[in-house]
Amino acid sequence: MNFDLNKKTLREVNQHLQNVDRKKNNRKFEILNPQGQHAICAGLKDDIDVTVKGHTGYYCAGMNQKATVTVYGNVGTGVAENMMSGKIVVKGNASQSAGATGHGGALIIEGDASSRCGISMKGIDIVVKGSVGHMSAFMAQKGNLVVMGDADADLGDSIYEAKIFVKGKVKSLGADCVEKKMDKKNIDELTKLFKKLNISEDPKKFKRYGSARNLYNFKIDNVGAY
């Protein structure tokens, strides 16, 4: 089923996708002429497949549950923001704060992601096939950020228990973020993630980064790092 945003309002399209008739077999949808509109596919909560043919604005597929959304274009700020489950695939580049506060599911960005990718992530798996901007995984609490390209400055600043895997170069690490050993357990975890997402990569080529756990409790000796 096709929706043309030159002919229907975004509100109409989102309401239809948010309230899919579960008795009908139609689970595949296509959105044409998105023209950078904001909040396309926001709040989806059913196991449906949506393809967006073009660029989207802010908060595309925010709060997603169960749905698979594929965007054939670039996305604006906050794609997959507060995502709970399902899968979002961006065929182009993503602006800042991709996957922000995501609780679950997977976000795959085939191009580059801008600053603060994975900010405050809470369980989501984010895979960026290009590079990420500064302060990615800032205050990331849980989940995985996998970067196949390079990472800009202050990676993992104030990170908690999330894991960061980078194949390329890291310009600098943020406060309390350190490189960690890439042991067999981590290689197996990354292998499992790649298999689940149908990604062909060698986990052994990645370096792992995470929290040094020095900022969990306030210490006057660390005041300069806060």
Q: Which CATH number do you get for residue 44?
A: 2.160.20.60
Residue 223 counted as domain residue:
no
In a domain, 221, yes or no: no
Torsion-angle region of residue 88: left (phi > 0), alpha (psi -120 to 50) or beta?
A: beta
For residue 96, being part of any structural domain is answered with yes
Residue 33 lies in a domain: yes
pLDDT of residue 220: 63
Render each residue's pLDDT in the chain as its tens digit; 226 residues: 999 999 999 999 999 999 998 777 789 999 999 999 999 999 999 999 999 999 999 999 999 999 999 999 999 999 999 999 999 999 999 999 999 999 999 999 999 999 999 999 999 999 999 999 999 999 999 999 999 999 999 999 999 999 999 999 999 999 999 999 999 999 999 999 999 999 999 999 999 999 998 876 666 666 666 5
Tokens 């499992």 correspond to 192
DSSP string, 77-137: TTTTTT--SSEEEESS-B-TTTTTT--SSEEEESS-B-TTTTTT-EEEEEEESS-B-TTTT
**Angstrom distance (rounded) from CA 32 to CA 2:** 7
Q: Which helix (H) or strand (E) holds 68?
A: strand 68-71
Residue 28 lies in a domain: yes
Per-residue model confidence (pLDDT) at position 214: 83
**Would you say residue 142 lies in a domain?**
yes
CA distance 159 to 140: 5
Using the Cα atoms of residue 196, residue 199, residue 205 and residue 208 in order, give the sign of their dihedral: negative
Using DSSP, state whether 204 is helix, strand or coil: helix
Residue 161's domain comprises 2-214
Q: What is the pTM of this model?
A: 0.94
Is the residue at 226 inside a domain? Answer: no
**C-alpha to C-alpha distance for 168 and 150, rounded to whole angstroms:** 4
**Is there a domain that residue 75 lies in?**
yes
Number of domains in the chain: 1
- How far apart CA 112 and CA 98 sit, in angstroms, is 10
AA letter at 84: M
